[in-house]
């Protein structure tokens, strides 16, 4: 028998219970072990839940879980940053294996958790924290053993991808689509974390640190969200026979890396253009395996719970490495030299600034009081320096990379 404790019974936690209820017998046949959820930590044990639970399984006392020697695995799906740090560290210190879907806490304490788990000879697994149901952490972990990874790219946030897909398909305004996304549950009441790219950034930080085998912090990553995109941009991008995605990307050359999350214009026939709605994708490149791409549901109850359970099965089969798999390469941030082709739209801003911006590129059009300019092979820093110098506020422009 394997005893599990669930920390949190929100969407993902409920999915874990449902799949385990459905698969209990077949998993017993498969693993030779009965997987039992012994306790579930919740804030309110009296709240009504629409999932089948054993009497007395709920508790609001973390101590009763972490001190229970029969419990082997903690599944942390609280989504809560402060408490989850405590749960994970205390859990590891009490020799519990950890599975978490919580990207915020993994991103913030990645090295600490990895070291602590290795020291205590338990597993710390986080497949479901990046790209929901897509199995990508494990393939990446396997490929780094026989490859040098030199690039990772991803559409990592379902909310942004949903909004951008519908804006392109329906030609509607950002605000209008955001509102619909909120009504349908694809965006939070406060969407900042998603639409400003923070969530993508955290996932990129995790992928990059694992894949490049050197520490890449949240602060190492340049960040541009999607909230300032408008219908004018969408119309222009469609006319380019392209679409737009929020892409997180790291590149490595020798020991220098660049890391950025930014709206990215991709041609209609590009792979990333086929990743729509709430789907996610991760692509990475190794020196032996070449380019690999993974596509699947970026969120959702069952896909995320499914990813949680693949980690649980690895722990049960003892098939995962309990060493700290993070590397110690000293990498140098080279973001100041990021260079590329860019799309820039600036809302009307008076004569003087206009002239300086016009110098950035060749193709330009004025439309509805805005200037749209296509910029070739230019340092991103030079563009953003000019925007800062002109004291443009974020709402007054939209800047996107053009992927060639």
Extract the tokens encoding 374.
């296509």
| CB proximity list for 96: less than 8 A, separation 6 or greater | 5, 66, 71, 72, 73, 74, 122
- 6 vs 221, beta carbon nearer a second copy: 6
Extract the tokens encoding 96.
């519990």
- 228 vs 242, beta carbon nearer a second copy: 242
- Of 103-111, 115-123, 132-140, 386-394, which part binds a second copy (CB under 8 A)? 132-140
- Nearest-approach distance from CB 295 to a second copy, in angstroms: 4
- 126 vs 224, beta carbon nearer a second copy: 126
Total residues found in the chain within this entry: 404
Give burial (CB, 10 Å; 0-12/13-18/19+) of 61.
Answer: exposed
Report the distance separating Cα 191 and Cα 374, nearest Å. Answer: 29
**From 240, 289, 349, 392, residue interacting with a second copy (rule: CB under 8 A):** 289
For residue 398, the cross-strand partners are 345
Q: Report the site for a second copy in 79-98 (rule: CB under 8 A).
A: none
- Nearest-approach distance from CB 196 to a second copy, in angstroms: 27
Task: Give residue 211's Cα distance to chain centre.
Answer: 14
Is residue 286 within the footprint of a second copy (CB under 8 A)?
Answer: yes
Size of the site for a second copy (CB under 8 A): 48
Is residue 282 within the footprint of a second copy (CB under 8 A)?
Answer: no
| CB proximity list for 58: less than 8 A, separation 6 or greater | 9, 39, 40, 42, 45
Is residue 274 within the footprint of a second copy (CB under 8 A)?
Answer: yes
Q: Phi first, then psi: what are they for 125, rounded to 5°?
A: -125, 145
For residue 4, the cross-strand partners are 37, 73
- 246 vs 283, beta carbon nearer a second copy: 283
Q: What is the largest CA-CA distance in the chain?
A: 75
Q: Report the site for a second copy in 133-152 (rule: CB under 8 A).
A: 133-135, 139, 142-143, 145-147
Write the interaction track for a second copy spanning residues 294-333; mark x where CB under 8 A is met and - where it is not. xxxx--x-xx-xxx-xx--x---xxxxx------------
- Nearest-approach distance from CB 169 to a second copy, in angstroms: 11
In three-state secondary structure terms, 16 is: helix
Q: Report the site for a second copy in 5-24 (rule: CB under 8 A).
A: 19, 23
Catalytic residue list contains 389 = no
- β-pair type (58-59, 397-402): unpaired
Q: Of 203, 364, 379, 391, which residue is the catalytic one? A: 203
- Of 45-53, 184-192, 291-299, 378-386, which part binds a second copy (CB under 8 A)? 291-299
Is residue 125 within the footprint of a second copy (CB under 8 A)?
Answer: no
- Of 187-195, 267-275, 334-342, 385-393, which part binds a second copy (CB under 8 A)? 267-275
- β-pair type (339-347, 2-7): unpaired
Report the distance separating Cα 259 and Cα 20, nearest Å. Answer: 38
For residue 155, the cross-strand partners are 281
Chain residues binding a second copy by CB under 8 A are: 19, 23, 26-27, 30, 133-135, 139, 142-143, 145-147, 268-271, 273-275, 283, 286-297, 300, 302-303, 305-307, 309-310, 313, 317-321
Query: Would you please indicate which residues are annotated as catalytic (active-site) residues?
Result: 203
């Amino acid at each position: 028998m394997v005893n599990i404790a669930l920390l949190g019974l929100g969407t993902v936690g409920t999915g874990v219970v449902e799949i385990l209820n459905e698969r209990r017998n077949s998993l017993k046949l498969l693993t030779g072990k009965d997987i039992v959820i012994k306790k579930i930590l919740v804030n309110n044990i009296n709240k009504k839940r629409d999932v089948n639970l054993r009497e007395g399984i709920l508790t609001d006392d973390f101590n009763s879980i972490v001190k229970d020697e029969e419990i082997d695995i903690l599944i942390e799906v609280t989504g809560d940053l402060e408490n989850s740090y405590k749960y994970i560290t205390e859990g590891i210190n009490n020799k519990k294996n950890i599975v978490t879907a919580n990207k915020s806490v993994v991103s913030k304490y990645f090295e600490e958790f990895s070291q602590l788990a290795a020291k205590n000879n338990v597993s710390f697994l986080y497949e479901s924290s990046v790209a929901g149901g897509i199995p990508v952490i494990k393939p990446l972990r396997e490929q780094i053993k026989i490859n040098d990874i030199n690039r990772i790219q991803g559409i990592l946030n379902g909310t942004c991808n949903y909004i951008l897909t519908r804006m392109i398909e329906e030609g509607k305004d950002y605000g209008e689509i955001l509102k619909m996304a909120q009504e349908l549950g694809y965006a939070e009441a406060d969407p900042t974390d998603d639409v400003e790219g923070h969530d993508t950034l955290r996932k990129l930080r995790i992928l990059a640190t694992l894949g490049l085998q050197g520490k890449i912090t949240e602060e190492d990553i340049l960040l541009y969200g999607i909230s300032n995109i408008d219908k004018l941009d969408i119309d222009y991008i469609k006319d380019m026979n392209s679409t737009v995605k929020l892409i997180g990307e790291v590149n490595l050359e020798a020991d220098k890396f660049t890391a950025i999350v930014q709206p990215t214009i991709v041609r209609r026939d590009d792979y990333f253009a086929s990743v729509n709605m709430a789907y996610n994708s991760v692509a990475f490149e190794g020196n032996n395996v070449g380019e690999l791409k993974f596509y699947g549901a970026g969120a959702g109850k069952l896909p995320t719970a499914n990813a949680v359970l693949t980690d649980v099965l690895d722990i049960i089969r003892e098939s995962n490495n309990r060493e700290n798999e993070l590397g110690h390469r000293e990498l140098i941030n080279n973001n100041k030299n990021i260079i590329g082709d860019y799309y820039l739209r600036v809302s009307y801003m008076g004569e003087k600034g206009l002239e300086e911006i016009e110098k950035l590129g060749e193709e330009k059009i004025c439309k509805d009081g805005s200037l749209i300019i296509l910029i070739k092979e230019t340092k991103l820093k030079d563009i953003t320096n000019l925007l800062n110098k002109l004291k443009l506020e974020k709402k007054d422009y939209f800047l996107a990379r053009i992927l060639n």
